[in-house]
Structure 1
């Protein structure tokens, strides 16, 4: 459930950024076709530049604090570019130069638009959290008046993944004969313990599943 909220928040932030960039492109297009004057065009764009920068910063920080390192790293180039423009005082559109810089301003925002579309695509279609494997040793203990005694020590592989991947692993386990079942215990919808020797088999099955279900555009 937590991953779902993270995805929804990131999705709406990206949509907000797309709307802001498209709004700026529309203002530049209106100026290019003489629907508005340079002052109105630059005023419209300058009003939304700081909100755009702040929203992008919030998105990068949000990915960082929620542990989505890859998406956070992908946001850094966009964020760095915005910060560089702001620190050099080049982030606002100059009404006296907007006609001379019209093509550059459009290219800049078209690049941002494409970059945001890629981020949106990755946030929707790529796994939000890849399955991670750790090897802890779990112990069950009972308390006696004198001390703690370890009983039924079990070594297993701890898997943390998103809900679809967890369901895939559970279905994979269910398809095997009883003697080959590898799940020790399902903790919740995204965490489970499995036999320690099956990590390569699970990774291979996941890789095969992704290859079989990937879409390739026909040439």
Structure 2
């Protein structure tokens, strides 16, 4: 398969992960300002935990299949962090985000900082893939702008 197809898949997965991270950030912000209670917040966030992990792993697998080793090395810590957090989930908790602990100030700040870090990564990777697909389609990796004159 050509590299532009891999880049399109990466753009799609990266945009889905970006929107999901923004949703999680808004949900945590609502909890912080007491617009929703901790049980509703934890339920909303736990619902999206497994799809988030699955999309992040899919993102890494697509990078592995396309042979983009440098980007894969950057992506692996983010994928492994989500898997690590899910595996280290305390027994008896309702999910990755526990309603009894999520309103704790330290946990809330940690979750907000984590979402902010993931948001920065997904935003940067989205624009990186946009640049890479444009440079692939134009055939000029140094300057992806089209150098031909416009016919009209």
Query: Does the pair score TM above 0.5?
Result: yes
TM-score w.r.t. structure 2 length? 0.80
Task: Find the counterpart in structure 2 of residue 46 from structure 1.
Answer: 46
Task: Find the counterpart in structure 2 of residue 3 from structure 1.
Answer: 3
Q: Distance in 1 between matches of 2:12 and 2:122?
A: 12
Cα 1:24/1:70, change in 2 over 3 Å = same
> Is the strand fraction higher in 1 or 2?
1
5+ residue gaps, structure 1 = 130-161, 169-205, 211-219
CA RMSD of aligned residues (A): 2.3
> Hey, which bits of structure 1, 4+ residues long, moved more than 3 A?
126-129
Larger-gyration structure (1/2): 1
Please say if 1:23 is aligned against 2:23.
yes
5+ residue gaps, structure 2 = 144-152
Q: What is the CA-CA distance between 1:70 and the residue it aligns to?
A: 2.0
Please say if 1:125 is aligned against 2:136.
no
Could you report, residue by residue, the CA deviation over 1:25-79 in whole angstroms, capped at 9, with x for unpaired residues? 1111111121111100110001001110110000100111122222222211101
Kept in 1: contact 2:3–2:66 (CA 8 A): no
Q: Distance in 2 between matches of 1:36 and 1:164?
A: 48
Kept in 1: contact 2:4–2:137 (CA 8 A): no
Task: Find the counterpart in structure 2 of residue 97 from structure 1.
Answer: 101
Kept in 2: contact 1:3–1:128 (CA 8 A): no
Correspondence list, 1:54-203, <5 A: 54-89=54-89, 92-100=96-104, 101-126=107-132, 162-165=136-139
Kept in 2: contact 1:68–1:128 (CA 8 A): no
Q: Distance in 1 between matches of 2:12 and 2:137?
A: 21
Aligned to 1:93, the other structure's residue is in SS state coil
Q: What is the CA-CA distance between 1:121 and the residue it aligns to?
A: 2.0
Q: Distance in 1 between matches of 2:132 and 2:8?
A: 14
* Structure of higher RCO (CA pairs closer than 8 Å, 6+ residues apart): 2
Q: Distance in 2 between matches of 1:128 and 1:53?
A: 28
Kept in 2: contact 1:56–1:79 (CA 8 A): yes
- Total equivalences in the alignment: 137
Higher mean Cα deviation, 110-119 or 63-72?
63-72
